[in-house]
Amino acid sequence: MSSIEVDWTRCDAHGLCSRLLPEVITLDEWGYPVIDGSDLDRDLVRAARKTAMACPALALRVERRP
Amino acid sequence: MTLIREAAAPATTTVSVLGTPRLLAGVVEGGRVDLAHHRALHGDLVLRRRTWLSGALHDVNLLGRGGAAFPVAAKLDAMPLGRVNIVVNGSEGEPASRKDRVLMTCAPHLVIDGAVVAAHALGARDVTIVIHDAAAHESVRLAALERSDVAGMRIVRTHDGFVGGEIRSVINGLNGAAAIPGGRRTLPHVRGVGGAPSFASNVETFAHLALVALLGVDGYARTGSTAEPGTSLLTLIGDVATPGVVEVPNGVPLGMLFAGQPDAPVLIGGYHGTWVRGVAGLVVERASLRAAGSPLGAGVIARPYAGTCVLDEVVRVSRWLASESSGQCGPCFFGLPALSDDMAALAVGAGTDRLASLTRRVNLVRGRGACAHPDGSVQFISSAVRTLGDELETHARHGSCGRPASTVLPLPAGGS
């Protein structure tokens, strides 16, 4: 199982992540990501990795959990 | 059991004891305990091997006293072999808490004993004691001068606030960075002071560690409850039996700390704590208070006086909590001011729409930060809303309750 983790100290609410991965990420009223559910669907892991790499603040990580 | 003696501590905090004092032995009668008096009260320092200490801490179920109540035996077991150091956190960032500074001011040698015991068990050479309060710092500094077993001990004065008192902030500060928590949850036992693993805990934890080493498991467990032997230091505020710092045996009913007003709102744990209505059935025992949904936190218990407006006080502290965000994490930096605005609006009579907005924002802030500040602040605000339903209804109907504001909860100077 994989999940998307946010480093809140880095996130600057650019909002790119929710455009790249709208299936999982929406934005709150201040523009910060709200991630739906803790486990990523398997077919979304690749897209999630790409999203994490695209984050201008490098605030996202895709972590694998046992 | 009900014997309560009182004495004025060197600071302005009143110190009292329920039952037999342990941490505060000698303090209630005579104030600060110097080295000779300390040794006369507790006997010579007993150093233990790591395996003994680990087993004993497990047997007496010693839980960390900084607020998280993490099992100290597990913390000790997590320490790797090799170059490690000890961090004694006496920064006491919780604004309502006085117990750590009272302990350091009045019984500094017990704290130092605990640090020496931990350092010996872990083979650590460096010990750092971090203190915010001036009188406490002076007392520990003087105590260290009295001893010959404190080579390698650093006593550091800090000037950081609530978030700065969290151990990861303290360690960042000691490492020369800003005293704010990092984005990744790196725990001190992995990377602490100077990059080496640190055994870090609250000052009261270290004092108990010294007592466990001195008394052994059976001796230590002679007071307190079966689930959590020993005593605890509490800071009692407002309409309580003995305001100030009190040492109590674990397991005593919270009701013993109050007189009258059985259904009044009570704040348990501090400004990251929980409002409850009445304390029937609650006892001073960390696991059972956590199970009841109101963890003991840093040991602060406050009750506003009858006939005062508690909502006003909740708004005041909520504003302060919002101002204490270190500004690192957006949901905390934007969310806490929005939540305290919601709370303030409810206190002047805003209706159910505003309550819905508050509830929605509670879920947007919780769990979305690098440290415990957003979660703890949300706990304070959401438990107030849950507990103070009658008060909120009165305010919604009349725009106010007409009572004078409750002002028992202290804020740091300039913070209110």
List the helix and strand counts (H, then E) for chain B: 15, 11
The closest CB to that of B370, out of A9, A30, A31, belongs to: A9
Distance in Å, alpha carbon of A59 to nearest chain B alpha carbon: 9
Q: What stretch of H or E contains B109?
A: helix B108-122
Which residue in chain A has the smallest CA separation from B333? A30
pLDDT over 50 (residue B52): yes
Interchain CB contact of A34 with B (< 8 Å): yes
Q: What is the DSSP letter of B135?
A: H
Count of CB atoms situated within 10 Å of the CB of B80: 11
Is residue B203 predicted with pLDDT exceeding 50?
yes
Q: Which residues of B touch A11 (CB under 8 A)?
A: 329-330
Per-residue pLDDT, B194:
84
Candidates A9, A31, A34; nearest CB to B329: A9
Say if A31 is an interface residue toward chain B (CB within 8 Å): yes
* Pick among A26, A28, A55, A63 to test the B interface (most B CBs inside 10 A): A28
User: Quick check: B167 pLDDT over 70?
Assistant: yes
* C-alpha torsion sign, points B252, B258, B259, B261: negative
Average pLDDT over residues A41-45: 91
Q: How does residue B168 score in pLDDT terms, banded at 50, 70 and 90?
A: confident
Would you give the DSSP letter of residue B273? S
Residue B285's pLDDT is what?
Answer: 97
Alpha-helical segments (H) within B107-202: 108-122, 134-145, 167-174
Q: What is the pTM of this model?
A: 0.92
What structural domains does chain B harbor?
18-220 (3.40.50.11540), 231-303 (3.10.20.600), 310-398 (1.20.1440.230)
- CATH class of segment(s) A2-64: alpha beta
Cβ contact, residue pair A30, B184, below 8 Å: no
The pLDDT of residue B351: 81
With 90 as the cut, is the pLDDT of residue B166 above it?
Answer: no
The mean pLDDT of chain A is: 92
Q: What would the mean pLDDT of B186-193 be, rounded to a whole number?
A: 84
CB distance A7–B369 less than 8 Å? no
Q: Do A30 and B329 touch (CB under 8 A)?
A: no
Cβ-defined contact of B332 to A29 (cutoff 8 Å): no
Q: Taking CB atoms and an 8 Å limit, are A34 and B335 in contact across chains?
A: no
pLDDT for the residue numbered B2: 32
pLDDT score at B171: 84
Inter-chain CB proximity A32 and B182 less than 8 Å: no
* Distance from the A42 Cα atom to the nearest Cα atom in chain B, whole angstroms: 24
Chain centre distance of CA B346: 29
For residue B197 the two structure tokens come to: 């693993």
pLDDT value, residue B416: 37
- Please state the ipTM of this predicted complex: 0.91
> Which whole number is the average pLDDT over B168-178?
84
- As a whole number of angstroms, the distance between CA A64 and CA A55 comes to 19
- Alpha-carbon gap: A37 to the closest alpha carbon of chain B (Å): 13
Residues on chain B touching A7 (C-beta within 8 angstroms): 183-184, 370
Please state whether beta strands B274-277 and B265-268 pair in parallel, antiparallel, or not at all (unpaired): antiparallel
Asked if pLDDT for residue B165 goes beyond 80, the answer is: no
Model pLDDT for residues B128-150, shown as the tens digit of each residue: 999 999 999 999 999 999 999 99
B396 Cβ contact partners less than 8 Å away, ≥ 6 residues apart: B346, B349, B350, B351
Of the listed ranges B60-69, B140-149, B162-171, the least confidently predicted one is B162-171
For residues A20-43, give the mean pLDDT: 91
**Nearest residue on chain A to B335, alpha-carbon basis:** A30
Q: In this complex, is the C-beta atom of A28 within 8 Å of any C-beta atom belonging to chain B?
A: yes
**Which residue is closest to A34 within chain B, CA to CA?**
B364
Torsion of CA B124, B129, B130, B136, to 10 degrees: 170
What is the distance between the alpha carbons of residues B216 and B319, in angstroms, rounded to a whole number? 46
B9 pLDDT above the threshold of 60: no
Inter-chain touch B330–A10, beta carbons under 8 Å = no
Closest of B106, B132, B127, B90 to residue B9, by C-alpha = B106
Q: What are phi and psi of B228, to 5 degrees?
A: -145, 85
A38 vs B34 pLDDT, higher one: B34
Q: How far apart are CA B230 and CA B233, in angstroms?
A: 10
pLDDT at residue B215 is higher than 60: yes
pLDDT digits (tens, 9 = 90+) for B255-305: 999 988 889 999 999 999 999 998 999 999 999 999 999 999 999 999 999
Interface test with A, best of B341, B342, B364 (most A CBs within 10 A): B364
All residues of chain A having their beta carbon less than 8 Å from the beta carbon of residue B181 are 9
In sequence order, what are the residues at sequence separation of 6 or more whose Cβ sits closer than 8 angstroms to the Cβ of residue A46? none
Q: Is the pLDDT of residue B5 over 50?
A: no
Give the pLDDT score at B78: 95
* Closest approach of B184 to chain A, Cα-based (Å): 7
pLDDT (average), residues B346-367: 92
Residue B234 vs residue B324, higher pLDDT: B234
Q: Averaged over B232-254, what is the pLDDT?
A: 96
CB pairs under 8 A between A and B: 38
**Interface residue A53 vs chain B (CB under 8 A):** no
Confidence label for B413 from pLDDT (cuts 50, 70 and 90): low
**Cα nearest neighbour of A27 on chain B:** B364
What is the reported pLDDT for B228?
Answer: 97
Share of chain B above pLDDT 90, in %: 77
CA of A14: which chain B residue's CA is closest? B330
End-to-end CA distance of chain B: 38
Q: Give me the percent of chain B exceeding a pLDDT of 70.
A: 96
